[in-house]
Amino acid sequence: MGIGAAAATALAGAARADSHGFDNQSGDTAQQIFTAALIAEDLATTFYYNGLVGPVIMDPSLAGAGGTATMTAADGDDGNVQYLRAALSEEMVHANLLRSLIGGSSPSGDPVQTFYMPAGAFSNLGTFLALLNALENAFIGAYLGATLEFAQMAADSVNPPTSPQLDFAGKPYTPEQLQYFAQVSASIMGIESEHRVLGRDIGGMKPANNLNFEQTDGLASVYNGAMSAVAALTPFLAPGPGLTAYSLATAVAGAAAVVVPTTGGLPPGPAAGSGKGR
């Protein structure tokens, strides 16, 4: 009961902060959030693809000696390989949705085409899983932030705001659409949480599901500010010492050969497209 009372107090404090526009201080717009999330999903696509085709796939905890993403050796673990193949599929589905929300039609037109990751990221399991954990924690934090920001946008839009949230064609989003974007952000965050836990399971961490609540990973916003998701992902967007370049186009082109089908669509709700009600 004492813990419950403390939690209630914390939630009430958060609600008071929210009522004063706490999460709107970032200045993030809906289009900026979609853009940042698309970049993150493209990074995830590139990461998982290279994990599936790199030397790390032959670790005994994955496909085993001489194994591949589609052929697990006798000393490998096919279940773990399936985790990664499904993760790649899911990240690409997320990217497709986010691309449509900024008016894009092809990965070739996405804002970032090359990502930079530590040398050796796909050479051994320890380095690969450490990077997986870091990336997924950042993605979880970003989608938690997006959930909060879209909820505040929806509340703000009930009274005509000075600067309404617009779709890529310049049409205002309805409060219902902004509420729905909050739900979709939470839905995607749940999948990123699965990826974090399955990565821990591959690494033999016990328990793999070690958290009571997912965390913001120190992020205060999605797009703007020094503590934004964009700032957290910036090291992966430019060349630097000890970094290797990886192409999004290569990952997208090669993904069909290594993914496994995943199922499930968007949660029920109003139009998931633009303010045009698509």
pLDDT confidence of residue 268: 93
pLDDT confidence of residue 159: 75
User: What is the identity of the amino acid at 261?
Assistant: P
Cα 271 from chain centroid (whole Å): 21
pLDDT confidence of residue 158: 83
What are residue 228's DSSP bridge partners?
A: 221
Q: What is each CA distance from 198 to 29, 34, 46, 113, in whole angstroms?
A: 32, 26, 18, 27
* C-beta separation of 233 from 43 below 8 A: yes
Structure tokens given for 220: 């205060």
Question: In the block, which residue shows the tokens 């399991």?
Answer: 125
pLDDT average per 10 residues of sequence, the chain (278 residues): 42 41 71 98 98 98 98 98 98 98 98 97 97 98 97 86 88 95 98 98 98 96 96 96 98 98 92 42
pLDDT confidence of residue 25: 67
pLDDT confidence of residue 26: 80
Structure tokens given for 131: 């990077």
Tell me the pLDDT tens digit for each residue of 190-226.
Answer: 999 999 999 999 999 999 999 999 999 999 999 999 9
In sequence order, what DSSP letters do the residues of 220-265 get, joined into one string? -BSSSSTTBHHHHHGGGSS--TTEEEEEHHHHHHHHTTT-------
- What's the farthest any 2 CA atoms get from each other in the chain? 63
pLDDT confidence of residue 157: 87
* C-beta separation of 28 from 224 below 8 A: yes
pLDDT confidence of residue 15: 40
Q: How far apart are CA 95 and CA 117, in angstroms?
A: 19
